[in-house]
Structure 1
Amino acid sequence: ARFCEARVWAGFNQVSSGMDKYADYAKGHDLKNRMPLWVKPDRKLTVRDVIGMMRDYYQGTELDMTKDVGAGPYQSIVRWRPMTWKVDGETYFHERAISTQQTGFSFVAQSRGWLPDPVGGILWFSVDDTYSTVYVPMYCGITQVPETYAVGNGSMMEFSDNSAFWVFNQVSNLAYTRYKDMIADIQKVQSALEGKFISYTDVVDKAAVELYQKDPAKAREFLTDYSVNQGNSTVMRWKELYRYLFTRYLDGNVKVKDGNNQNPKVKFPGYDESYYRMIIEKTGDKFKYQGGSH
């Protein structure tokens, strides 16, 4: 239950009240109190709501992955595999959330039956870790995919700096080194892009339907151009983001532009107090400062 049903419980918990009574089941403690196979959401869900479900790491619950020792000094939601390990003959495990670094691709399918088929279906498609990715609208009527998302552009053992998979992995894997700080910068760009796509949807739908009524092939061409352009431009924006993050957080410091000066202001944020306390608990006075210059 902890590895599979807990993820389902987390998704249900975001959209349906009353899931607290199944928390023990999700944790594997009370398997007799089985949760339902499905729930009715408390409200009609939007695309943004469902994307939010894909980004669940048990936040807001006692299983929140940023709150246990495995989160490290930067409140990471990542736990490296294997999922289980043994100490002194006892088996332990990492949480397995919906959002995971090992995601190859994910999508949210949006079906609007009142629109012509090529227009009515959208796959909000993404690659890599759901928490730090961008969901890009791919209309089901498109006749080709963006070059940056195409099969054959790189592989699992062949890096391509023009491949969405590899570019998004560059950003996410860099962020894992200083998560709580970098994820905030990532989410600003993520939110701007997804917000733009969502706000454009009605306009794109309307234009595509008008074209479809005159020439279905032209409508498909229009939708293909739109989805291809959004996909490719998103990857280009993510490459810019990688360069920004790499420069800003180089060597564990945080650099801030200082007006027109060539050199930036440099901050040394250090760790949270809780992490420093953990060091003291483990080492006692080993690192206690005794005075003198430093």
Structure 2
Amino acid sequence: MKKIFVLTALALLVSVFSTPNASACTNYLITRGASTDGSNMITYAADSHVLYGELYFRPAADWAEGTMIDVYEWDTGKYLGQIPQVAHTYNVVGNMNEFQLAIGESTWGGVKQLGSQEGALIDYGSLMYLALQRSKTAREAIKVMTELVETYGYYSSGESFSISDKNEVWILEMIGKGNGEKGAVWVARMIPDGYVSGHGNHARITTFPLEGKTSISSDKMDKIFNPEVTTVYAKDVISFAKEKALYPKDGKNKNFSFSDSYGPVDFGGARYCEMRVWTFFNRVSKDMDKHFDYAKGNVKLDKKGYASNRMPLWIKPDKKVELSVLMDAMRDHLEGTELDMSKDMGAGPFGNPYRWRPLTWEVDGVTYCNERATATQQTGFSFVAQSRDWLPDAVGGINWFGVDDAASSVYFPMYCGSTRVPKSFAVGNGKMMDFTNKSAFWVFNQVTNLAYTRYNAIHPEIRDKQVALETKYQNFTKIIDMAAEGMFKTNEAAAIEFLTDFSCNQGDNLTNEWRDFYGYLFAKFMDGNIKTKDGDKQNPTMKQPGYSKEYYETIVKTTGDKLKVIGGDGH
């Protein structure tokens, strides 16, 4: 009976990929014991074909009693309503606030019947940015976020949130209760120090410890600030699943799996989502081959109907993770695997590791898929948030920020204490259908889209410049850290202005340099040629590399003698 129950429940579910406009994002989480310099780090790629990449800024402010704030859905701009403002809100640069608290997310949809909640006022985007304005720590953010949806309702579908501060890193997974009920069910778990985790559009928390020394339910939220507590969950997370026939009424609570009940994994959940987590885990551990079959979409079910071959929620890396390694993890196209996107026919003659949407397609009634890699063309912005407990907060937090496809972007340092952002990255500088070459988003898109046309020739030049700039920035911040830390002892305001000025200069200088870089690349690779300046000569040297031997052979195989030269040479 239990197996029949589970199969019936599965019929009620849809994956996030059945929703055409759903956001698809990637997060990696690194605890300080797993990083080379002892910093906590999370990454976030905000991936949407209609998201304009810009760096949000919300200054600290005091608010009069009775002030109300308007809430708009982040994805669509739809007005949802008003909620009371708090007395004081904190300075927020992008997805990181002045206390080194950072939050990212990925959408996974989950149970269709829970995907909407009429009258709800808080969507997942508002939840992140309200929490950043109202919280100093990850634990406080979890309390704020869960209380907000309990009070005002949850407007979005299933979400995973990465939440980090200078001491801890947490993952919070949440799904609404659907129409007729207010709020959400959720579980939050602290990543053990020395471990790494990740999520990419699929729920990853399965079973979790129930009430005890290290685990509390939401009716005891006053205990969340006890450092021994490492798991927190909605008091009705299990009973609600039973009520909605998502878990057997006689099922044992200790066997309850959040993901398998509210968002079970299927082929798409593994191949398009868990695969991205696998690629990161595979970079830092030699023990991931055993999970590759699962990540490719071969999901095996046990007698309960749960996936029996899932990857762990967190792993211990073979060696500590460097900042540059984490940045490059955001640039993965499944290189080094049998699914390497630059190696099959879809890559075209120039090894382009991108596939234009839709994600799936049919031939003769059979459905096939494109890979969904971490690095993707539809990224609006991405970041690596770095929190360091040995420095003053305004210095210790760096939001390494970039716009557009991470593989062709550059992460520059925005100190979390900054009181303004670079003009070229600021909100209002251009829009998705409003081009301006003064905007970092458009400048980077020009370079990236040029690279897509002849990837194996153009991207290596982008990569060289990317590495050079990020190395420079990382060297600069070591000096800036020391100088700002010293300034804080005598003049905190001057130190914050110093950090702000540095961050803004780096961002705007990067945009200017990248704009010139586009001109250089366009001239060099125009018209299918590769041209290089030849001293003071009027004409450059020129190469016409054509296509690879393998691609020419493919042309002959598919065209026969149609292009065969008879009795002479072509020009």
**What is the TM-score of this pair, normalised by structure 2?**
0.51
Per the TM alignment, residue 63 of structure 1 is displaced from its structure 2 partner at its CA by 1.1
Match in the other structure for 1:203: 479
Range with bigger deviation, 145-154 or 23-32: 23-32
- How far the C-alpha of 1:205 sits from its partner, in A, is 0.1
1:232-276 CA-partner distances (Å, limit 9, x unpaired) = 000111001100111001111111112210111111100011111
**More displaced, 41-50 or 132-141?**
41-50
**What is the alpha-carbon distance in structure 1 between the residues aligned to residue 569 and residue 427 of structure 2?**
59
Percent sequence identity is: 57
Pair 1:158 & 2:427 matched:
no
Residue equivalent to 1:6:
275
2: CA distance, partners of 1:103 / 1:12? 21
1:25 to 294, 319, 325: 294
Q: Structure 2: how far apart are the matches of 1:42 and 1:216?
A: 40
Higher strand share: 2
1:128-167, aligned counterparts within 5 Å?
A: 128-167=404-443
Aligned length: 294
Is 1:58 matched with 2:334?
A: yes
Shift of residue 216, structure 1, vs aligned partner: 0.9
Task: Find the aligned partners of 1:106 and 1:122 in 2 and give their Cα distance.
Answer: 13
Aligned-partner Cα distance in 2 for 1:85–1:2: 15
What is the deviation of 1:293?
4.1
The letter of the residue matching 1:28 is: G
Which aligned pairs between 1:1-294 and structure 2 lie closer than 5 A? Answer: 1-31=270-300, 32-294=308-570
Distance 1:201 1:16 in 2: 29
SS at match of 2:527: helix
Superposed CA RMSD in Å reads 0.9
Q: CA deviation at 1:291?
A: 2.5
Distance in 2, Cα, partners of 1:291 & 1:15: 58
Other structure's SS at 2:542 match:
strand
Offset of residue 204 of structure 1: 0.5
Distance in 2, matches of 1:265 and 1:224, equals 44
- After superposition, the C-alpha distances for 1:32-76 in whole angstroms (9 at most, x for unaligned) are 321111111111111101101111111111111111111111101
Structure 2 letter corresponding to 1:132:
S
Cα offset for 1:177?
0.5
How far residue 30 of structure 1 moved from its aligned partner, in angstroms, is 3.8
DSSP 3-state at the match of 1:59: coil
Structure 1 segments unaligned to the other structure (5+ residues)? none
Alpha-carbon distance in structure 1 between the residues aligned to 2:282 and 2:528? 36
- What amino acid does structure 1 have at the position aligned with 2:296? K
CA distance in 1 between partners of 2:325 and 2:465 (Å): 18
Cα offset, 1:292, TM superposition: 1.7
Output the CA distance in 2 between the equivalents of 1:48 and 1:291: 56
Aligned-partner residue type, residue 38 of structure 1: W
Q: Deviations over 1:2-50 (max 9, x none)?
A: 0100111111111111100111000012443211111111111111011
Gaps of 5+ in 2: 1-269, 301-307
CA–CA distance in 1 between the matches of 2:501 and 2:338? 45
Aligned to 2:93: none
Secondary structure of 1:81's partner? coil
TM-score (norm 1): 0.98
Secondary structure of the equivalent of 2:379?
coil
Distance 2:325 2:534 in 1: 38
Runs of 4+, deviation exceeding 3 Å: none
Q: Distance in 2 between matches of 1:29 and 1:283?
A: 37
User: Which one has the largest radius of gyration?
Assistant: 2
State the alpha-carbon separation in 2 of the partners of residues 291 and 266 from structure 1. 29
